[in-house]
Copies of this chain bind each other. A is one copy, B any other.
Amino acid sequence: MISEKMYELGSKRSVIRELFEYGKKRAAEIGSENVFDFSLGNPSIPAPESVKEAILDLVENTDPIALHGYTSAQGDLTVRDTVAKHINGISEKCNVTPDNIYMTSGAAASLSICLKAVIVPEDEVITFAPFFPEYRVFAEAAGAKFSVIPPNKEDFQIDFDILGKSISEKTKAVIINSPNNPSGVVYSTETISKLCKILTEKSKQYNHSIYLITDEPYRELIYSNDKLPYVPDFYDNTFVCYSYSKSLSLPGERIGYIMVSPLMKEWQKVYAAVCGAGRALGYVCASSLFQRVIARCIGDTSDISEYLENRNFLYNSLKNMGFDCVSPSGAFYLFVKSPEEDANIFCERAKKHEILIVPGDDFGCSGYVRIAYCVKRERIEKALPSFEKLINEYK
């Protein structure tokens, strides 16, 4: 007599969560130094010192009633102003004000709120494989049909032919995620331009706005000299969903924002719907302390050079062993081709070598595995002989 849908969502563990639990059990059996767990995207680099300093100073020197009190539902005005100004330093086209910023409890909240704000019954939401599996949960919870464009396994950019055929008059929103979890791929300026051109055409054809929702928790985790294109500069009807989970290593504190582009058609109305959706989902305000912390640390990141070193070391090592791997430009994942067709079987084999990696099937991309390299360097070093043994089984 309860909601069977919610029961199913709560009782069906994700593959990643299963692996994580297995890893803990295995570590208890053979010692955690002997389990090579690459399953989780949990930052392995501490928050920068500026975060610690900000918390200590705020707690020592601010009136606790103001510091821990309610902010307005969309976030503290000064904090939103700081975020808006920061974005104006990135964007070449948007003039963002605090009225475009809605502070959230992280990216999952940002996405849920944007979708709830724009979806009406019968709407469809499109994303591109490989994709973060919770997108389906959020889109369906908002009442949308969720459809996935299959992966373009050549370079993991977008397959525009299939996209063109998949957009219908029911398409209300498209979600992108670059740098991408799980592939580590960054969408090129060319990809973004082409995507936005198609969305503009299709919006005209169907005479309604198609919203582009860009999920950007990995924006700062990029390892090439290429500039990451800022999506709102390419497409007016854009929501940016940002989170400080990865850039400031604060995943458990749940702090991020939605930017409703000032170039969006009737953005004030859409922003109001964002406020309404936040209310309907039970959000009151993002943590008042952490709103202030991120305002003080705006533009800072954790020392991501460690991820870069991990990436280079692991990528080169695996390539030398004979693994085939997608070129990793950002985030902290390698997306490796499974040496046998079924990546699930490959992952089970890897487990026998105490290597925990995630099959791509859950991300909508069979035949690949995700290796999260946000781990201590020692774990990678100790794991290499096991990776070698694993690939040799296929030689």
Contacts and interface: CB of A to CB of B under 8 A. Distances in A.
Contact of A42 (B55, B70, B290): B70
Contact of A2 (B113, B269, B281): B269
Interface residues of A, number: 79
Given A46-B65, A64-B46, A6 B289 contact: no
A145 to B, nearest CB: 16
A94 B45 CA distance: 42
A278 B108 CA distance: 11
Interface string A42-86: 111111000110011001100111011111000000000000000
A64 B249 CA distance: 9
A276 B56 contact: no
B251 A69 contact: yes
Given A1-B120, A208-B1, A252 B64 contact: no
Number of copies: 2
Interface stretch (A7-15, A26-34, A336-344, A347-355): A7-15
A281 B281 contact: yes
Nearest to A277: B6
Nearest to A284: B108
B276 A5 contact: yes
Contacts of A18: none
A130 B18 CA distance: 46
A1 to B, nearest CB: 5
B69 A11 contact: no
A219 interface: no
A313 to B, nearest CB: 20
15 contacts: A3-B120, A6-B116, A7-B272, A7-B276, A9-B279, A10-B272, A10-B274, A42-B69, A52-B64, A138-B280, A141-B280, A141-B282, A253-B288, A254-B286, A254-B287
A44 B65 contact: yes
B70 A46 contact: no
Contacts of A42: 69-70
A384 interface: no
Contacts of A60: 56
A235 B152 CA distance: 56
Contacts of A87: none
A237 to B, nearest CB: 10
A105 interface: yes
Contacts of A280: 5-6, 9, 137-138, 141
Contacts of A44: 65
Nearest to A102: B10
Ranked nearest first, the 10 interchain pairs of A and B with the lowest CB-CB distance are: A252-B288, A112-B282, A10-B276, A9-B276, A10-B275, A6-B276, A10-B272, A141-B280, A11-B272, A6-B273
**Chain A: interface secondary structure?**
helix
A283 interface: yes
A314 B8 CA distance: 51
A109 B272 contact: no
Interface string A283-314: 11111111000000000000000000000000
Contacts of A184: none
Contacts of A68: 47, 51, 249-253
Question: In this complex, which of A71, A118, A141, A252 has the most chain B Cβ atoms within 10 angstroms of its Cβ?
Answer: A252
Contacts of A282: 105, 108-113, 138, 141, 281
A68 B245 CA distance: 9
A149 interface: no
B8 A276 contact: yes
Contact of A284 (B113, B141, B254): B254
A70 B279 contact: no
Given A47-B68, A276-B9, A118 B249 contact: no
